[in-house]
Every structure is written in structure tokens, then in C-alpha cells.
Amino acid sequence: ESARDHKRAFDGDVGPNTGGMGAFSPANNWNSKQQLQFEEKIMRPVLHGLLAERITFRGLLYPGLMITEDGARVLEFNCRFGDPETQAILPRMKSDLLPLLEATIDERVGNCSIEWDHRPAVSVVLASGGYPNKYETGKIISGLDEAVKLEDVQIFHAGTSWVRGELVTAGGRVLAVTALGSTIEGARARAYDAVSRIHFENCHYRRDVALTAGTDNIGKLL
């Protein structure tokens, strides 16, 4: 499955690059033709290269791609899940993740099937004010109980910590709020409804996640 992230810190894809200020899945700039080109021109040579060098790889390959007029171009490969792309992809997975990981270790993953929720997902990152540059931590977080009561909403913790019985900020990217919806617009509205219920001092988030196709043409695959 595909996802598309928002790298820039501010609305309109401006400001410094970050680890990711939000993502949505599936990517709106990805189609079956691009999928075929990706498999033939990118993944097949990678797999052939591993075989040629007698490298046994058991794990997850996560490619970051830029979509151009000539097709997908590789920006990076990671041997891990992507953040925040995974927060938009995994809520759409109906299958249990653990058996897939175990099958990967045992080289049985080719016999596995994955069931997906075909509804789109939108994930909005809540960050400490000033991120990705200098920011303060230790800000008390409230409203999570109200946010998680919303239907098809999940909250993923990143830069958080318990201090003297209080949940506080402890990093640049603090939380990712993900929602499913029958349409990308519905998922987006639900995610931002949940975001509006969460509060901490100097909270910063982009208000245009999944609003438009954006300008960076960057997508990720899992």
C-alpha cells in the first residue's frame, strides 16, 4: 500500500524540512501504471542485486519515491517502517501484523495474504512549537481521552513522557492523530476534529494535510 507525507513544517509546503508533519494513504499521485513501473524498474533490479551479491534479507524495505513526468525516482531505501507514513497505512490493515512479521523471519511471507480496509486514512502530526529547530519540552498534554472517543480515530505517541503523573511533551514530534473515513475528505475532517480536542502549550500542526496534492510529489510505499 502507498502513502504520501508532508515534509515541510508549514502549510503550503513551505518552511524547513521535518521528519514528516502528516501523511495520508493511499497516495493520490499513485496509480496502477506507476505501480507496474515501480515493480519492473525499481524493485526487480533491487531483488536481483541482492541475489547477485548473495545477500539474504529478511525484513521490511521501505522506498521513498519522487513522482516525475518520467515515472517514480528513488530518493531513499530504509530497512524500517516510515514515520509518519506507517501511522496512515497500518490503520488500514485488517490483518494481524505479528503473524506477517513472524512469517517474514521464517521466510514464509510469500504464502501470506493481507486484508486491507479500502477506506483512506489521514494522519496529522502534532509538534512542539519551534520544531524542527529549537523547541521546549515538558508541556502538559490534555484532551486525549476526548479525541480517542471519536469513531475510527487512533492516536500514536512519539515525543511524550510521564512526569509526576502527567503526560507531557518530550520531543519535536509529539503525537500523530489518524482517522479513517469513507472518503479522503471525511478522514481528514475526522482527524482534524480529533486534533482540535488535544491541547498543549505551543502546539503546532499543519492544517493542510491531505488537502491538496501538494508540490513535492513524494510518496512512500510499504
Predicted confidence (pLDDT) per residue in 25-81, tens digit: 999 878 888 889 899 999 999 999 999 999 999 999 889 888 888 888 899 999 999
DSSP for 113-156, written as a single string: ---B--S-EEEEEEEETTTTSS----PBPB-HHHHTTSTTEEEE
**What is the arithmetic mean of pLDDT over 91-110?**
95
Q: How confident is the model at residue 220, as a pLDDT?
A: 52
Task: Locate all alpha helices (DSSP H) within 90-180, ordered by sequence.
Answer: 97-105, 144-147
| Burial readout 122-158 (b: 16 or more C-beta within 10 A, e: otherwise) | bbbbbbbeebbeebeeebebeebeebeeeebbbbbeb
Mean pLDDT of the chain: 93
Q: How confident is the model at residue 28, as a pLDDT?
A: 85
Q: How confident is the model at residue 32, as a pLDDT?
A: 85
Residue pair 135/215 in contact by the 8 Å Cβ criterion: no
> Distance between CA atoms of 208 and 206, rounded to whole angstroms?
6
In the predicted structure, residue 171 carries a pLDDT above the cut 60? yes
What is the amino acid identity at position 107? E
Predicted confidence (pLDDT) per residue in 120-133, tens digit: 999 999 999 999 99
* DSSP for residue 181: -
191 is written with which cell numbers?
482527524
What is the amino acid identity at position 145? D
Higher pLDDT, 195 or 68: 195
User: How many domains, the chain?
Assistant: 1
Strand, helix or coil for residue 53:
coil
Predicted confidence (pLDDT) per residue in 137-148, tens digit: 999 999 999 999
Q: How confident is the model at residue 172, as a pLDDT?
A: 98
Pick from 70, 59, 1: nearest CA to 220: 1
Query: What percentage of the chain reaches a pLDDT higher than 90?
Result: 81
Residue pair 168/160 in contact by the 8 Å Cβ criterion: yes
- 40: domain CATH number is 3.90.600.10
Higher pLDDT, 2 or 154: 154
Strand, helix or coil for residue 114:
coil
Query: What percentage of the chain reaches a pLDDT higher than 70?
Result: 95
Rg (CA), the chain: 18
For the chain, the distance separating the N- and C-terminal CA atoms, rounded to the nearest angstrom, is 6
Least-confidence region, from 10-14, 66-70, 120-124, 186-190: 66-70
Residue 185's pLDDT band, with cuts at 50, 70 and 90, is very high
Could you list the residue range(s) of the whole structural domain that residue 172 is in?
A: 2-221
